[in-house]
């Protein structure tokens, strides 16, 4: 579907977000195709039952983890990356064997319409449905009983989803947002730091859940950053960024107005130009911002980057810890001790050192928030694991050896039986060489039981002879 309709999907993204080809392909179309290919390459392995290690007492049993689909999954997508954020969890739920209802975000109207139009042409209509609509439709959907709900969007709506899911104790993944801080240390390479922070901030016009929300750094670092940022923004977007084909637009009037209000906080060091007719806001950096300003209280989700001054890493840690746990925490610097100090003394969904955004592309890293920035995670194998219940199965048989050994659990109890049971059940460290000891012991026991059994049978046979 994605391969055959690339141009139409690109056009829908462009109509919703004014976004150019490069970002549409990198972050949505090609990204999603790649995720699907990765799933196809691995689905056999990921879906296969697992045989975890077992204790000595279970050596004759099968200890198996079955990957059981939950059943019917509801995927609710967000508008800022309307294709990727709908289709990646949607395909993960399908791959895991579920029936799925997809509810794309009505805010990106062209993208939700194209998903509603294309998906029924490509997939089984009984198992996979797309429901279009807004808050009313989502509210109605949330009244139904689902077996799993995967929601991407704001923390406020995340709370509504969680509350609705409680009625049927439905498990949820909540991929939410929040303010992702950037700490820049004086040891950082400022030119590279500025490029990596500004790129992460201005892709999709700042409407990225893991966009760097604000910078905390010393006054000296701020001055150096602003100097570099002026040159970089000019180099990337020209004298008049509004003419750049590489900057998207704000999704709608409501969000545009919300962002305009932030521009009166602090002092504009770079940018500040706005155009309501195009819902355009130039890449903007604010300085002399106070912790208590509005721009520092809610997630910005736009091309405005405030800088708040602090003196050192300890202050940065205290500042980060005094606020909601972020979806992403970005640290720039070369002092390893200081970087580890921040990593070990803060809590965030993900932590990235000396870059922004790119953890999304590392499919072996769980992607998700903590606390108000979300619960659960996905990407790579986790996109499959999220949608299966790992059903633990203990499968025994009626083998006489197993039953004879396991008979120690039956009354009448004795100290001898207790000792033997403890020996069988004891947790043992995984020391090389000792690994095979339980098998050897079980083998020995098996032989002993067999001979014992034979001896008893012989006695009975002789006894039975005339
Ligand atoms: P949104 O308004 O499109 O809402 C997302 C979904 O929630 C939509 O399908 C919508 O229909 C539904 N919805 C909205 N209000 C509702 C209500 N009152 N009751 C029931 N359902 C409702 O998107 P948004 O919430 O504006 O998205 C932006 C937020 O999402 C930001 O906070 C951003 O950080 C976060 N986000 C997180 C991730 C992530 O992966 N963690 C990705 C993208 C966006």
DSSP 11-76: HHHHHHH---HHHHIIIIIHHHHHHHHHHHHHHHHHHSPB-----GGGTTSEEEEEEEE-SEEEEE
The reported pLDDT for the residue numbered 168 is 98
Q: What is the pLDDT of residues 27-59, one digit of tens each?
A: 999 999 999 999 999 999 999 999 998 888 888
Of all atoms in ligand 1, which is nearest to the CA of residue 142? Answer: 20
User: Which comes out higher in pLDDT, residue 132 or 453?
Assistant: 132
- CA-based nearest residue to 213, from 323, 60, 75, 87: 323
Half-sphere exposure of residue 183: CA atoms within 13 angstroms, side-chain side: 30
What is the pTM for the complete model shown?
A: 0.91
Q: 157-161, 174-178, 399-403, 408-412 — which is least confidently predicted? A: 399-403
- Mean pLDDT for the chain overall: 94
The reported pLDDT for the residue numbered 431 is 61
Q: Is 158 in the pocket of ligand 1 (CB under 6 A)?
A: no
Phi and psi angles of residue 243, each rounded to the nearest 5 degrees, phi first? -85, -5
Average of pLDDT values for 149-160?
A: 98
Q: Is 103 in the pocket of ligand 1 (CB under 6 A)?
A: yes
pLDDT surpassing 80 at residue 453 = no
Confidence category of residue 90, pLDDT binned at 50, 70, 90? very high
Q: 302-311, 353-362, 434-443 — which is least confidently predicted? A: 434-443
Q: How far from 106 is each of 39, 103, 132, 151, 178, CA to CA, in Å? A: 28, 9, 7, 14, 21
Average of pLDDT values for 304-317?
A: 96
Ligand 1 centre and the CA of 154: distance in Å? 4
Ligand 1 centre and the CA of 225: distance in Å? 32
pLDDT surpassing 70 at residue 461 = no
**355: preceding bond cis by omega (within 30 degrees):** no
Q: What is the pLDDT of residues 349-375, one digit of tens each?
A: 999 999 999 999 999 999 999 999 999
pLDDT surpassing 60 at residue 465 = no
DSSP symbol at 275? E
Ligand 1 centre and the CA of 139: distance in Å? 13
Of all atoms in ligand 1, which is nearest to the CA of residue 349? Answer: 41
């Amino acid at each position: 579907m994605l391969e055959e309709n690339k141009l139409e999907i690109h056009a829908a993204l462009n109509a919703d977000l004014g976004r150019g080809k490069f970002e549409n392909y990198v972050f949505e179309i090609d990204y999603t195709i790649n995720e699907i290919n990765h799933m196809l390459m691995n689905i056999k392995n990921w879906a296969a039952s697992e045989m975890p290690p077992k204790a000595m007492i279970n050596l004759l049993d099968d200890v198996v983890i079955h990957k059981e689909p939950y059943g019917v999954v509801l995927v609710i997508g967000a508008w800022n990356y309307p294709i990727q954020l709908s289709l990646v969890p949607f395909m993960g739920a399908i791959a895991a064997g579920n029936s799925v209802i997809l509810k794309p975000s009505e805010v990106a109207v062209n993208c939700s319409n194209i998903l509603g139009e294309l998906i029924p042409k490509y997939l089984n209509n009984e198992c996979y449905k797309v429901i279009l609509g807004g808050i009313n439709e989502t509210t109605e959907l949330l009244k139904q009983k689902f077996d799993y709900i995967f929601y991407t969007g704001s923390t406020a709506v995340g709370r509504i989803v969680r509350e609705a899911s409680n009625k049927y104790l439905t498990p949820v993944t909540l991929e939410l947002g929040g303010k992702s801080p950037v700490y820049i240390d004086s040891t950082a390479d400022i030119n590279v730091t500025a490029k990596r922070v500004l790129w992460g901030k201005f892709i999709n016009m700042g409407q990225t859940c893991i966009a760097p929300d604000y910078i905390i750094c010393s006054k000296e670092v701020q001055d150096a950053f602003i100097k570099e940022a002026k040159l970089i923004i000019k180099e990337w977007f020209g004298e008049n960024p509004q003419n750049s084909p590489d900057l998207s637009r704000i999704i709608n009037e409501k969000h545009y107005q919300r962002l305009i209000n932030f521009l009166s906080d602090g002092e504009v060091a770079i940018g500040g130009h706005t155009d309501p007719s195009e819902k355009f806001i130039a890449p903007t950096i604010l300085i002399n911002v106070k912790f208590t300003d509005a721009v520092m209280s809610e997630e910005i989700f736009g091309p405005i980057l405030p800088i708040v001054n602090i003196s050192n890493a300890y202050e940065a840690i205290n500042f980060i810890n005094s606020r909601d746990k972020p979806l992403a925490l970005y640290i720039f610097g070369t002092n390893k001790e200081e970087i580890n100090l921040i990593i070990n003394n803060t809590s965030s969904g993900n932590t990235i050192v000396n870059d922004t955004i790119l953890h999304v592309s590392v499919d072996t890293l769980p992607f998700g928030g903590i606390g108000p920035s979300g619960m659960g995670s996905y990407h790579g194998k986790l996109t499959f694991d999220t949608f299966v219940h790992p059903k633990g199965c203990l499968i025994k048989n009626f083998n006489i050896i197993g039953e004879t050994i396991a008979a120690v659990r039956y009354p009448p109890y004795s100290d001898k039986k207790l000792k033997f049971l403890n020996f069988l059940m004891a947790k043992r460290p995984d020391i090389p060489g000792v690994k095979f000891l339980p098998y050897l012991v079980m083998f020995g026991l098996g032989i002993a039981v067999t001979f014992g059994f034979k001896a008893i049978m012989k006695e009975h046979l002789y006894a039975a002879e005339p």
